[in-house]
Amino acid sequence: MMVRRCKTWALAGSLLAFALASAAHMASAQTTPTPATTTPPLPVGLPSGAPVTPAATIPGPQGPQSPAVPPLGASGLLPTSEEPALPPLTGTLGVADVLREADLRNPDILAANAAIVAAQARVQQATNAPLQSLLQPSIAQDVPGGVRQVQLMTVGLQQQILPGLTATKRVARFDVALAGAAAAGVRREVRQRVVDAYYALAAAQTRAAAAQQNVTSANELVAAARLRQRAGAIGSFEVLRATVDARRAQTEVFVARGALRQAAIALGADVGRIVDQTARLSLAPSTTAPVLAQAAAVESILRRDPTSMQLRATLARSSAQLAAARAQRLPTLSLAGGYTLERAPHLGGLTSQGPTASIGLTIPIFDYGTIRGAEKEARANAATTRLQITGRELQLRATIASAAADIESTRARLGFSDESLRQAQVGLRIAQIGFRQGALRTLDVISARTAALTARADRDQARAEYADAIAKLQILLGDPVAP
């Protein structure tokens, strides 16, 4: 009896606690405002407002799940509060369009351009010292050998004329040229990265499309195998083999979509703006004849090479630094003018005033090593730069020859891969026909389709490498990249 009563009280206590908790929850729901429903961020690469398609989902243990990844900012990273939101680049994008956007958005290029502005500001600083106000009190004897004093106060302006001002301005101007050449070098490096990322994304798109076509072909093979099983031509093992191959093809689709997403993010980071992974890119290269013809003109390329321009500006700057160091041995001229107020206390505070002018000349007498050290440093820098210019010329010749050889080798590989793809497609069609006629097995069709998929991937990669080699040589030559 006592045990039954305890159970009754325990049940009543549980019901009372549940009622109190429900009332508290309802009260909090009435007093607390309901937060606005927010749409989860779209995956990177999808335009705003576009539905999330299966191409933008990641398979999970409970099925396809949309990745909760915030959209990237214009720099390829998470957006900042100061950075305006930019829509992703969509539509048909040529390599020239992407390079044009990188010139406007890439942080490295913008920083190099800002360095030019800073160098131009240093040119403005290369001038005479500021005009100074002069306030000079002094006490002097009224007459030579006298005991009485006269108070003097000189008020006016003073200007120093520094020696070697022309050489200092030349150094500052060569700093501007140096910053401009450095900016051109940064721009070329960024453009090479953008070209690599562009064709990597284009190749990833073709691989994703090929993987999707492989899934369709695998599903057709499964359907054909089931029809032949119903007809009694094959056993269940052949159907199981075709089903496993279809699942493997679906896995390759997921892998290809992941690589496509990574390639789009990498291109967006180099461009400085989000690039939609569904944007239509082109693997078609430009003509190679003008590019290879221009590659032979090494001398003109050296004149346009940013690194060579930077070295030449450094050499000229060293010469200007040597002239500026030698100018430190010249005297410094100082001009002053104003009014002098004279007061004689022994004469009852009698005062007088009048204009005054003075010229000062400061001549360096002994050099403790400052001037000689600056001259020695300028000569050593000039000698080092001359050797670097010679080395850059040899390096550029080798780079151009290597780039031209890359074009030839990638073109040969592209022709070979085209022929391999044609043969693999013919073999796949023969295997499919033979399987439908009962002459071949499922494994034969799977092997033929795998060979065709591999051949297509090799062909697309060869096209990307061929177009990439041409564009990189165009950038190296300083020519605009063909769209």
Comparing C-alpha atoms, which of 99, 280, 109, 130 is closest to residue 196?
99
Q: Reduced to 3 states, what is the DSSP secondary structure of residue 335? A: strand
pLDDT the model gives residue 155: 84
pLDDT the model gives residue 290: 61
Lowest mean pLDDT among 18-27, 130-139, 303-312: 18-27
CA distances for 171 relative to 82, 120, 180, 201, 332, angstroms: 37, 11, 14, 45, 20
2 occurs within a structural domain: no
Residue 459 near residue 418, CB atoms below 8 Å: yes
- Mean pLDDT of all residues in 142-154: 71
Q: Residue 442 is encoded by which pair of tokens?
A: 């499922």
Task: Report CA 360 to chain centroid distance, whole Å.
Answer: 55
CA distances for 392 relative to 275, 309, 310, 469, angstroms: 35, 11, 11, 21
Q: Per-residue pLDDT for 148 more than 50? A: yes
Rounded distance between C-alpha atoms, residue 311 and residue 183, angstroms: 13
212 occurs within a structural domain: yes
24 occurs within a structural domain: no
Query: How large is the C-alpha radius of gyration of the chain?
Result: 40
Q: Per-residue pLDDT for 196 more than 60? A: yes
pLDDT the model gives residue 483: 56
483 occurs within a structural domain: no
pLDDT the model gives residue 301: 76
Comparing C-alpha atoms, which of 281, 270, 277 is closest to residue 74?
270
Q: Which CATH number fits the domain that encloses residue 108? A: 1.20.1600.10
Q: What is the per-residue pLDDT across 277-313, written as a single tens digit (0 to 9) for each?
A: 777 777 666 556 566 666 666 677 777 888 888 898 8
174 occurs within a structural domain: yes
Comparing C-alpha atoms, which of 415, 425, 429, 428 is closest to residue 459?
415
54 occurs within a structural domain: no
Q: What is the per-residue pLDDT across 203-240, written as a single tens digit (0 to 9) for each?
A: 888 888 888 888 888 888 888 888 878 877 778 888 88
Residue 354 near residue 381, CB atoms below 8 Å: no
Confidence of residue 383 (pLDDT cuts 50, 70, 90): very high
- The maximal CA–CA distance of the chain, rounded, in angstroms, is 140
CA distances for 184 relative to 112, 139, 468, 476, angstroms: 8, 62, 20, 11
Task: Report CA 136 to chain centroid distance, whole Å.
Answer: 58
390 occurs within a structural domain: yes
Q: Per-residue pLDDT for 39 more than 80? A: no
Domain count, the chain: 1
pLDDT the model gives residue 416: 92
The range of the structural domain enclosing residue 279 comes to 95-127+163-329+367-477
Percent with pLDDT over 90 in the chain: 7
pLDDT the model gives residue 297: 64
Element (H, E) at 267: helix 236-271
Rounded distance between C-alpha atoms, residue 107 and residue 113, angstroms: 10
Q: Per-residue pLDDT for 11 more than 50? A: no
Q: Which residues contact residue 114 at a Cβ distance below 8 angstroms, ignoring those fewer than 6 apart?
A: none
- Mean pLDDT of all residues in 168-190: 89
Rounded distance between C-alpha atoms, residue 187 and residue 354, angstroms: 63
Comparing C-alpha atoms, which of 99, 106, 90, 458 is closest to residue 264?
90
Q: What is the per-residue pLDDT across 50-87, written as a single tens digit (0 to 9) for each?
A: 333 333 333 333 333 333 334 444 444 434 444 556 77
Q: What is the per-residue pLDDT across 243-287, written as a single tens digit (0 to 9) for each?
A: 888 888 889 889 988 988 888 888 888 888 788 777 777 766 655
Q: What is the DSSP letter of 37?
A: P
195 occurs within a structural domain: yes
pLDDT the model gives residue 457: 84
Give, to the nearest 10 degrees, the angle between helix 306-327 and helix 370-437.
170
Q: List b or e across 65-74, with b for residues whose CB sees 16 or more CB atoms inside 10 angstroms.
A: eeeeeebbbb
Rounded distance between C-alpha atoms, residue 148 and residue 142, angstroms: 6
**Mean pLDDT, rounded, of the chain:** 75
